[in-house]
């Protein structure tokens, strides 16, 4: 698959089959995460891989945005002690860094036939308690992982001509 094919084919998957994810695939997905760009290369992230089915069920209870029963979850957090190196903009940079890592992970997963979904809707306090996340580490996003029971249809995208402005805002890009 070429890169655009992977980018366009990835879907947010919310129902998963029972098939286990091989360890090497999980490792490749995590590796894709650490190779994301980060502001000043601070790499403020900490990733928590949750593969214990009992724990996944508990996380689901505090995560209204988590659909289906995935085989694994990656909780993407940033470490405030690391992000402080960027000064006042540290936390907002860290959120961007984590978003890029999450996208890398989801594209890697898709290239391996594995479905994923980014999840921002969860109770941070309850999640920190469940996963023993220390005070200085902030969970931002979760990525659920599993083989899809089906690939969803692609949701609508706003067309390029509507989204892109050429040189100055409001000027259309023509093909």
Ligand X SMILES: Cc1cc2nc3c(=O)[nH]c(=O)nc-3n(C[C@H](O)[C@H](O)[C@H](O)COP(=O)(O)O)c2cc1C
Based on the number of CB atoms within 10 Å of its own CB, is 41 exposed (0-12), middle (13-18) or buried (19 or more)?
A: exposed
In the complex with ligand X, the residue whose CB is nearer, 9 or 134, is 9
Taking alpha carbons only, the member of 106, 91, 90 closest to residue 142 is: 106
Instruction: Rule CB under 6 A: choose which of 14, 73, 97, 143 binds ligand X.
Output: 14
| Interface region with ligand X, contact rule CB under 6 A, candidates 40-48, 77-85, 119-127, 130-138 | 119-127
In the complex with ligand X, the residue whose CB is nearer, 158 or 175, is 158
CB contact set of 5 (below 8 Å; sequence gap of 6+): none
- CB contact at 8 A, 65 and 118: no
Q: Which residues pair with 144 in a beta bridge?
A: 73, 117
Query: For ligand X, which residue has the nearest CB?
Result: 65
| Interface region with ligand X, contact rule CB under 6 A, candidates 8-16, 19-27, 41-49, 54-62 | 8-16
| Interface region with ligand X, contact rule CB under 6 A, candidates 19-27, 31-39, 118-126, 163-171 | 118-126
- Binding flag, residue 170, ligand X (CB under 6 A): no
Q: How far is CA 6 from the centre of its chain?
A: 15
Sheet with 45-50, strands from edge to edge, namely 45-50, 72-79, 137-146, 115-119
Q: How far apart are CA 140 and CA 150, in angstroms?
A: 27
- Binding flag, residue 117, ligand X (CB under 6 A): yes
The size of the interface with ligand X (CB under 6 A), counted in residues, is 11
- Kindly identify the residues of this chain, within the stretch 16-75, that bind ligand X according to CB under 6 A: 65, 67
DSSP for residue 111: H
Instruction: Rule CB under 6 A: choose which of 12, 79, 123, 149 binds ligand X.
Output: 12
Instruction: Rule CB under 6 A: choose which of 11, 77, 83, 139 binds ligand X.
Output: 11
Which residues contact ligand X (rule: CB under 6 A)? 11-12, 14, 65, 67, 117-121, 155
């Amino acid at each position: 698959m070429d890169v655009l094919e992977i980018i366009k084919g990835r879907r947010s998957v919310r129902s998963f089959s029972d098939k286990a994810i091989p360890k090497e695939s999980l490792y490749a997905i995590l590796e894709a995460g650490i190779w994301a760009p980060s502001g000043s290369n601070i790499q403020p992230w900490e990733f928590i891989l949750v593969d214990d089915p009992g724990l996944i069920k508990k996380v689901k209870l505090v995560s209204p945005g988590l659909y289906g029963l995935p085989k694994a979850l990656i909780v993407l957090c940033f470490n405030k002690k690391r992000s402080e190196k960027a000064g006042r903009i540290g936390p907002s940079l860290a959120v961007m860094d984590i978003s890029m890592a999450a996208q890398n992970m989801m594209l890697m997963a898709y290239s391996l036939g594995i479905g994923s979904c980014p999840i921002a809707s969860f109770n941070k306090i309850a999640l920190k308690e469940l996963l023993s996340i220390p005070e200085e580490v902030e969970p931002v996003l979760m990525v659920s992982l599993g083989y899809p029971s089906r690939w969803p249809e692609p949701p609508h995208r706003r067309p390029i001509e509507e989204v892109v402005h050429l040189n100055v805002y409001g000027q259309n890009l023509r093909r």
